[in-house]
A and B are shown apart, each in its own frame.
Chain A
Amino acid sequence: MSAVSLNNIVKTFGSFTAVHRMSMDIPDGSFVTLLGPSGCGKTTTLRMIAGLIDPTEGDITIKGQRINDVPIHRRNLGLVFQNYALFPHKTIAENVAFGLKYRDISKTDAEKKVRDALELVQLPHVSDRYPKQLSGGQQQRIALARAIVIEPDVLLLDEPLSALDANLREDMRVELKRIQHRIGITTVFVTHDQSEALAMSDRIVVMSNGRVEQIGTPQDVYNTPASEFVSRFLGVSNILPATCQAVNGQELSLELPHFGKVNVPKEKAPNLSQPGPAQLVIRAEKLLLTEKSAPVDDRIALDGKVEAVDYQGQAARYFVRVGDQQLQVINMIDQHPFQEGSDVSVRFRPRDCAALPGAAT
Chain B
Amino acid sequence: MSVEAREKRQPWILLSPALTAVGLLLFIPLVFIVVYSFWLRTATGADQAGFYLDNWNEALTDPFYRDILLGTLRIAAITTIACAVMGYPAAYFIARSRGNKALLLLLLMLPFWISYIIRTMSWINILGVSGAVNWVLLNLGIVSEPVQMLYNEPTVILGLVHFLLPFMVLNVYVALEGIDVSLEDAACSLGSTRWQAFREVTLPLSLPGLAAGGLLCFVLSAGTYITPLVLGGPTDAMFANLVFEAIITQLNWPLGSALSLMLLAVLGALVLIYNHYLGMGQLMKGLG
Contacts and interface: CB of A to CB of B under 8 A. Distances in A.
B186 A73 contact: no
Task: Say which size band chain B's interface belongs to.
Answer: 10 to 19
A98 interface: yes
Contacts of A87: 183, 186-187, 200-201
A146 B201 CA distance: 15
Nearest to A76: B191
Interface string B164-203: 0000000000000000101101111111111010001100
B204 interface: yes
Contacts of A150: 190-191
B204 A146 contact: no
B193 A85 contact: no
B204 A77 contact: no
Interface string A40-68: 00000000001110000000000000000
A52 B190 contact: no
A85 B185 contact: yes
Given A52-B185, A81-B182, A102 B204 contact: no
Interface string A87-129: 1110000000011011100000000000000000000000000
Contacts of B180: 83, 85
A179 interface: no
Given A87-B201, A89-B204, A89-B205, A99 B190 contact: yes
A86 B186 CA distance: 8
A102 B205 contact: no
A73 B193 contact: yes
A72 interface: yes
Given A85-B182, A89-B204, A89-B205, A98 B187 contact: yes
A88 B191 contact: no
Contacts of A75: 189
A111 to B, nearest CB: 17
Given A85-B180, A87-B201, A89-B204, A73 B185 contact: no
B189 A77 contact: yes
Contacts of B186: 79, 81, 85-87, 146
Contact of B185 (A78, A79, A101, A147): A79
Interface in A146-181: 146-147, 150
Given A83-B180, A85-B183, A87-B183, A73 B205 contact: no
B182 A102 contact: no
B205 A72 contact: no
A102 B191 contact: yes
Interface string A313-356: 00000000000000000000000000000000000000000000
A123 to B, nearest CB: 18
Interface string B15-56: 000000000000000000000000000000000000000000
A103 B185 contact: no
A81 B205 CA distance: 19
Contacts, number: 63
A73 B192 contact: yes
Contacts of A99: 190-191
Contacts of B200: 87, 98
A15 to B, nearest CB: 16
Most buried by A among B182, B188, B190, B193: B190
Contacts of B185: 50, 52, 72, 79, 81, 85
B189 A79 contact: yes
A116 to B, nearest CB: 17
A102 B192 contact: yes
Contacts of B201: 87, 89
A78 B186 CA distance: 9
B154 to A, nearest CB: 37
A99 B189 CA distance: 8
A83 B182 contact: yes
Most buried by B among A72, A78, A81: A72
Contacts of A81: 182, 185-186
Contact of B191 (A50, A73, A85): A73
A98 B190 contact: yes
B188 A72 contact: yes
Contacts of B192: 73, 98, 101-102
A101 B201 CA distance: 14
A98 B192 CA distance: 9
B174 to A, nearest CB: 16
Interface in B191-233: 191-194, 196, 200-201, 204-205
A64 to B, nearest CB: 21
Contacts of B196: 102
A76 B188 CA distance: 10
B175 to A, nearest CB: 12
B170 to A, nearest CB: 22
Nearest to A50: B189
Given A72-B185, A73-B192, A89-B204, 5 more contacts: A81-B182, A81-B185, A85-B180, A85-B182, A98-B192
Interface of A: 50-52, 71-79, 81, 83, 85-89, 98-99, 101-103, 146-147, 150
Interface of B: 180, 182-183, 185-194, 196, 200-201, 204-205
20 contacts: A52-B185, A71-B193, A72-B185, A73-B188, A73-B192, A73-B194, A77-B189, A78-B189, A79-B189, A83-B180, A85-B180, A85-B182, A89-B201, A98-B200, A99-B190, A101-B191, A102-B192, A102-B196, A103-B191, A147-B190
Nearest 10 pairs of A and B residues by beta carbon? A99-B190, A102-B191, A79-B189, A85-B186, A85-B182, A72-B188, A81-B182, A73-B188, A73-B191, A98-B190
